[in-house]
Chains A and B, each alone.
Chain A
Amino acid sequence: MRTADGDPYRLDVCPRFRDILTDRIRPTGRKPIYPRFAPVGDSALTVEFDDAIDPKINARVQALDRAIAVSNLPGIVETVPSFRSLTILYEPEAIDLESLTEKLLPLLDDEPRALPVVGRSWTIPVAYGFPDADDLREICELTGLSRDEVEGLHSGAEHLVFLIGFVPGMPILGGLPEPLHVPRRPEPRPDIPAGRVMIAGMQGQIVPMPMLTGWRSLGQTPVRPYEPGAANPFLFRAGDRIRFRPIGVRELDALAGVPGGHFLNSRAA
């Protein structure tokens, strides 16, 4: 494997590495060369575009994901977009890794061209400070901002759905304005209910189902990212864009149970 400062693989330590260390599959330079193809066991491959959380990098993940979806590549089981990489589950019975990487190479855009925006745009209502008034107060203390400033910054920004995950249907959001970057709570709390709009670090999330989390609550939305049993149980997809709209508690009650699609602004071509 590789040493800390990027020395080539020590083949004497692990002689059987040789057959996966072809230049194409795994560059042996001192720095990783992106995109980097990393096998994940016997039937998955992660294509890494960089080592950063950045909408531009994520756009390349989304682009490869879409390219595969329309490509008719044989043996693809499913693809899993995340911040800076796409994990591809494949059937080795249908395609070997070398053929797969060969077929992926032409799908990799070095500089993604002006791709049409395929993510959808949402306006999600939030009752800020409800019901976890203490959480919002803490966020104000940590950031030195007033409640109005926190609301204004959060609802003024466009948030990108980097990925759906950790739990079913949960959008993990980027685009949180820097003054709102706050650390996680020292201890996670259990049973955070569905609909909480939360932040931690440079990210946001909308809780889809009761869960344990150390993130901090900004408020509550009537929108449910995951509706078990529904024909389309997942409201959001990776690549979607979300704006938040401040509402009062009365409107929160009035909107409870309104179908998720109500909050969709536009559908991309």
Chain B
Amino acid sequence: MSVPLLRAIAPTPSVTVQDAGRRGWRRFGIASAGAMDRMSLAIANALVGNHPSEAALEFAYAGGDWAVEASSCRVAVTGGEFDVTVDGDPFPPYSSRVLEPGQRLRIGGGTRRVWGYLGVAGGFDLPLEFGSRSTHVRTGIGGLAGRMIRAGDALPLRADRAPNEPERSMVPPPEPDGPLRLVPGPQEDYFDSQSTSLFLSAEYEVTWQQDRMAYRLHGPPLRHAKGYNIISDGVVPGCIQIIGTGLPLVLMRDAGTVGGYPKIATIVEADLGRMAQKRPGSMVRFAAIGVAEAHAIRRQFLARLQLVAERAAGVPGPAY
């Protein structure tokens, strides 16, 4: 019997395998990678009966054409209001269905948000690298041969057949609005009070210079009080570097492990997925919070992640 697989017929040039990312290897220069929007990854997985942090396919703006070469495979698309069809029939995001051999899944574009996820029941039969299946294209680690998915690629599936279960669907969780919350530092003292006050009151525009590594923002430039070079130190996804032009560069999941620009503040985990889903032209604002409040927000986010995944998996209970 041949290996069950998902075939990339015509993927968009943005598709990678992503899970919750890797940890424990930053001291050797290994970036975390992982889903740009953890909530949407968790829901895609829950809708097909997977663990919330199982690996799925991540795409930007549209996903392209896919087919299964297996007895059957349950799939679900989340992340945004993408125009998804199976053999031309609508297949609404945030629902599951079984894909049969010969059928064509087409993930078209959407009007809002950036990143989408295609979850497959049972997950992909791909090796763990440094504890994760997330692809880090720049260093060739994880996913399928450490690279983006290309036309003709075969992604091995763990399950040959969709389990006999009822289909699932959910209303996409409401998107919290309001400013993106951040903890000042670690180098907020590289900016004078006028600049930090400007940073917290200004609106910044998300630009086209956005990828898995970093988002460049446009808006009022800040003044560095002590130059824009620091002795390189540890960075994490969410760190906002103020580069030589005085403009913010938000580090995202694929960012390296150390950096040499001063970091005025760091976006909290709960809001990093929201940042990731902002399209070019979107305006963002920031609000500074303390660490204690950041921890409370993190607890709420993790609880919500759990709750939303339970609802998507059909566990009854109060709405999120």
| A interface residues with partner B (beta carbon < 8 Å) | 1-4, 7, 10, 13-14, 16-20, 25, 32, 38-44, 46, 48, 51-53, 77-87, 89, 92-93, 96-97, 163-170, 209, 228, 233-234, 237-238
A12 to B189, CA, bound (A): 16
Instruction: Return the contact of B289 from the options A13, A16, A85 (Cβ within 8 A).
Output: A16
Cβ of B299: which chain A residues have Cβ within 8 Å of it? 92-93
Establish whether residues B291 and A53, one from each chain, have CB atoms under 8 Å apart when the complex forms.
Answer: no
Decide yes or no: A41 and B256 within 8 Å by CB, A13-B196, A85-B234, A234-B28 being known contacts: no
Of the 9-residue stretches B107-115, B117-125, B178-186, B274-282, which lies at the interface with chain A?
B178-186
Can you show 23 pairs from A to B with CB atoms below 8 A apart?
Answer: A4-B226, A10-B193, A13-B193, A13-B197, A14-B196, A17-B288, A19-B292, A20-B292, A41-B267, A42-B183, A43-B298, A46-B234, A80-B234, A80-B257, A82-B258, A85-B233, A89-B23, A92-B294, A164-B27, A167-B139, A167-B256, A169-B29, A233-B28
User: Which chain A residue shows the least CB distance to B236?
Assistant: A44
User: Which chain A residue shows the least CB distance to B136?
Assistant: A168
Decide yes or no: A20 and B183 within 8 Å by CB, A1-B188, A166-B256 being known contacts: yes
- B253-291 with Cβ < 8 A to chain A: 256-258, 263, 266-270, 287-291
Establish whether residues A166 and B231, one from each chain, have CB atoms under 8 Å apart when the complex forms.
Answer: no
Cβ of A25: which chain B residues have Cβ within 8 Å of it? 291
A19 to B288, CA, bound (A): 11
Decide yes or no: A51 and B23 within 8 Å by CB, A1-B189, A2-B189 being known contacts: no
Establish whether residues B29 and A164, one from each chain, have CB atoms under 8 Å apart when the complex forms.
Answer: yes
Task: Please classify the interface of chain B as helix (H, G, I), strand (E, B), loop, or mixed, using the class held by over half of its residues.
Answer: mixed
A24 to B: closest C-beta gap in Å: 12
Cβ of A42: which chain B residues have Cβ within 8 Å of it? 183, 266, 268-270, 291, 294-295, 297-298
- B82-119 with Cβ < 8 A to chain A: none
Cβ of A96: which chain B residues have Cβ within 8 Å of it? 292, 295
Cβ of B238: which chain A residues have Cβ within 8 Å of it? 41
Establish whether residues B290 and A209, one from each chain, have CB atoms under 8 Å apart when the complex forms.
Answer: no
Task: Please classify the interface of chain A as helix (H, G, I), strand (E, B), loop, or mixed, using the class held by over half of its residues.
Answer: loop
Q: Is B187 engaged at the interface, CB distance under 8 Å to the other chain?
A: yes
- Interface size on B, as a range, is 35 or more
Establish whether residues A14 and B234, one from each chain, have CB atoms under 8 Å apart when the complex forms.
Answer: no
A40 to B255, CA, bound (A): 15
User: Which chain A residue shows the least CB distance to B195?
Assistant: A1
| B interface residues with partner A (beta carbon < 8 Å) | 23-30, 139-141, 182-189, 191-193, 196-197, 200, 225-226, 231-236, 238-239, 256-258, 263, 266-270, 287-295, 297-299, 302
Establish whether residues B293 and A1, one from each chain, have CB atoms under 8 Å apart when the complex forms.
Answer: no
B26 to A: closest C-beta gap in Å: 5
Cβ of A85: which chain B residues have Cβ within 8 Å of it? 233-234
Establish whether residues A93 and B302, one from each chain, have CB atoms under 8 Å apart when the complex forms.
Answer: yes
Establish whether residues B186 and A16, one from each chain, have CB atoms under 8 Å apart when the complex forms.
Answer: no
Establish whether residues B290 and A1, one from each chain, have CB atoms under 8 Å apart when the complex forms.
Answer: no
Cβ of B234: which chain A residues have Cβ within 8 Å of it? 40, 44, 46, 80, 82, 85-87
Cβ of B290: which chain A residues have Cβ within 8 Å of it? 16-20
A237 to B: closest C-beta gap in Å: 8
A167 to B299, CA, bound (A): 32
User: Which chain B residue shows the least CB distance to A61?
Assistant: B233
Q: Which of B258, B287, B294 neighbours the largest number of chain A CB atoms within 10 Å of its CB? A: B258
Cβ of A78: which chain B residues have Cβ within 8 Å of it? 23-27
Cβ of A167: which chain B residues have Cβ within 8 Å of it? 29, 139, 256
A162 to B29, CA, bound (A): 13
B229 to A: closest C-beta gap in Å: 11
A96 to B302, CA, bound (A): 16
B142 to A: closest C-beta gap in Å: 11
Q: Which of B185, B256, B257 neighbours the largest number of chain A CB atoms within 10 Å of its CB? A: B185
Establish whether residues A32 and B269, one from each chain, have CB atoms under 8 Å apart when the complex forms.
Answer: no
Instruction: Return the contact of B236 from the options A1, A83, A89, A165 (Cβ within 8 A).
Output: A89
Cβ of A209: which chain B residues have Cβ within 8 Å of it? 139-140
B160 to A: closest C-beta gap in Å: 28
A41 to B263, CA, bound (A): 11
